[in-house]
Structure 1
């Protein structure tokens, strides 16, 4: 009945896509308010093909959470220090899955030398991020048109077991 966090592989894309779509549709009602246009925009890029491409991109670090062999959560971190995804199935809420995924991406961010992690949160998940040390810095519009909360967290410089972290991409210097 434990949770296993592991690196996502393309073969996880269908299950991860199901997690994303169900979590958005069922758990984020306060955000989309059953507005079909908002849901269509939000779910538009949540296809197995897109998810698989996110998993194999060298600029991303994707994790899945498994319980009893089934994918129950998914998270995606970019090398630029943005947490792009952190979603769990409705039946996995409040069971430690989200926190385990968050700890996994924070560890990878430290390994990459990322000192500040940032994210746009749904209204639904804002309290979760606050409980995990993230600081609310204001409101933003998401790319799918909904208002979201902008959070950030300064990461401490804990040592990593990875002796050769990958170079992080920084859009501001043109590298």
Structure 2
């Protein structure tokens, strides 16, 4: 396995767009149920130009996973601590690529001083994020008509941020 996780460049936009579109169409059937209206809405902004814009935004941190020279995954973190994208090609799932992307995103969030990450997961991705310590905060409807799970994960107490200052516990009790 020759996996490389690297910062996404505008030249990766077309391949990353393919990852997004294939992943949504093929892996998220539980969510869109092959409804053309939902698919059109969900895929509407998944164009190479839009992805290139996301990659070039100074408030975003974008990564691609590359296996044997092929972009097989894409992830995007906003400066506000939202994991906005974390997608893999269908044939790349179950090989550790998603874990590697997520781990690197968590490390970047720690570098920025983000205390907790949040994301909206599809039904298809729910188990993946739950297994990685993300907490289910309930259902939220996406703008494109799919019910998503709002997940969050505290990072400052996690092994992902080993250099983060530990929070002091406040106790209002008497020690006498």
Do they fold alike, i.e. is TM over 0.5?
A: yes
**3-state SS, counterpart of residue 80 of structure 1:** coil
1:35-114 equivalence runs, <5 A:
35-114=35-114
Structure of larger gyration radius: 2
Offset at residue 115 of structure 1 (A): 0.4
Offset at residue 2 of structure 1 (A): 2.3
- CA separation in 2, counterparts of 1:127 and 1:2? 26
Segments of structure 1 that go 5 or more residues without pairing to the other structure are 161-175
Contact 1:31-1:123 at 8 Å conserved across structures: yes
Partner of 1:3: 3
**3-state SS, counterpart of residue 143 of structure 1:** coil
Partner of 1:152: 152
Partner of 1:27: 27
Offset at residue 140 of structure 1 (A): 0.2
Question: What whole-Å deviation, never above 9, does each CA across 1:41-99 have from its counterpart, x for those lacking one?
Answer: 00000000000000010000000000001000000000100000000000001000111
Q: TM-score, normalised by structure 2?
A: 0.89
Segments of structure 2 that go 5 or more residues without pairing to the other structure are 165-176
Partner of 2:170: none
Offset at residue 144 of structure 1 (A): 1.1
**Paired residues, what number?**
160
Displaced runs of 4+ in structure 1, greater than 4 A? none
Partner of 1:16: 16
- CA separation in 1, counterparts of 2:23 and 2:45? 14
- CA separation in 2, counterparts of 1:93 and 1:40? 24
Offset at residue 38 of structure 1 (A): 0.4
